[in-house]
Structures are given as C-alpha cells and as structure tokens.
Amino acid sequence: MPFTYHELEPDRWRDLTQLLGPNGAQDGCWCMWWRRPQGGKLWEEKKGRPNRDAMRRLVQNRKASGILAYEGDTPVGWCAFGPRLDFPRLETVKAFRRDDIDDVWSVNCFYIARGYRGQGVARGLLAAALEAMRRRGAHTIEAYPVTTTGKGDRVQPAFAYTGPLSIFEQAGFQEIQRLAPTRPLLRRKL
C-alpha cells in the first residue's frame, strides 16, 4: 500500500501523538527543539509534558506546520516546516546563523516510525512539505540535513531528525554554507 501525506490540522493531533509516542519522538522533545530559544537547564525543564502541551497549543491554534505520512490509517512519519523565524533555536547554532532569514522557510525535523525507515517516507514527506509551502507563498526553503558523525560514521536514527542529505539533494537543494564539517545549510527556491 502506498503512503499518503496530509498536513497537520487540529483534528490530526491524536495521530501525531500516536506517532511520536509517550516520549514525544525523542527524549520528550515533541518537535519543540527548534521552537524553544533556550538550551541547557531551561530545555531540560521543558522536556516531556511541557513540550507536549506547548506543541498541542500550537497545533490547536494552527501555528505549527507539518506533514504526517500514513500507511492506511496508521501514522508512520512526520515532517515539521514553517517560517524560519518560528524556530529561534536555529540562531543559537553557529553553523546555521544567517542575516538573510526574513522570508525564508525551514524544513527542520523528521520522525519516521521504526519499521518504516528506508522506505521513502522521508522523501515523500519532504515533497508534500514543499508543496504545502508553495501553496502558502514560500519562495526560499532552507534545510539542515545530517551527513555523518565527526569521525565519518553513519548518524544514528535518533540523531538524524533533520533528515538525510540525499533527499534534499534529490529535491534540488543546494549547499550555501558549511561552517562546521557535519552541519551543512541548504537552500532551494520554489
């Protein structure tokens, strides 16, 4: 059965929670990592229930954008996107700082359920996200894919949440900046 892709709407909140599970995908994140400007102790205080509640409010108020992938009625993948200014943590990562961000949109988080990784779900999520951003009038899209570890090893799935480099290259993204060996910044015009 082929996968289907749907934009996140308030009535799909339950599907997102089913997919992300009780840990909010990874360690209580609930796809809030890039949305919170603070790290360290302040981040630790927000993990889990506070992040879940914050994400739920964003979804209910239609302030969180994303795509859910389904196999039949089962949610199997997630991709977050939105205006870069909605993700203040990006400015705290030296490798991703830019001056030209006002009209830039960001694709910054993927979660694929175990058993569905390596089947093209991320590629389909990216295509659906690009189409959704096009409908919203976005022109410049940015991405922060994973490459390898500093030693050149493959990145573990838990740390590959920004998506694999290959799907962005195949979708026409170009590297515009690499201030750290394992942190490229890519862009594409729609």
pLDDT, tens digit only, all 190 positions of the chain:
689 999 999 999 999 999 999 999 988 999 999 999 887 888 899 999 999 999 999 999 999 999 999 999 999 999 999 999 999 999 999 999 999 999 999 999 999 999 999 899 999 999 999 999 999 999 999 999 987 656 666 766 666 789 989 999 999 999 999 998 888 999 999 9
The tokens for 40 are 């360290």
Task: Pick one of 3.40.50.10420, 3.40.30.10, 3.40.630.30, 3.30.365.10 as the CATH number of 4-189.
Answer: 3.40.630.30
For residue 35, give the nearest of 93, 95, 83, 86 by alpha carbon: 86
What is the pTM (predicted TM-score) of this model?
0.93
Q: Which H or E element spans position 176?
A: strand 174-178
Q: Where are the domains of the chain?
A: 4-189
For residue 12, give the nearest of 75, 54, 61, 63 by alpha carbon: 75
- The three-state secondary structure class of 90 is helix
The tokens for 44 are 């630790």
- Give the list of residues 6+ apart from residue 29 with CB closer than 8 angstroms, or none: 47, 51
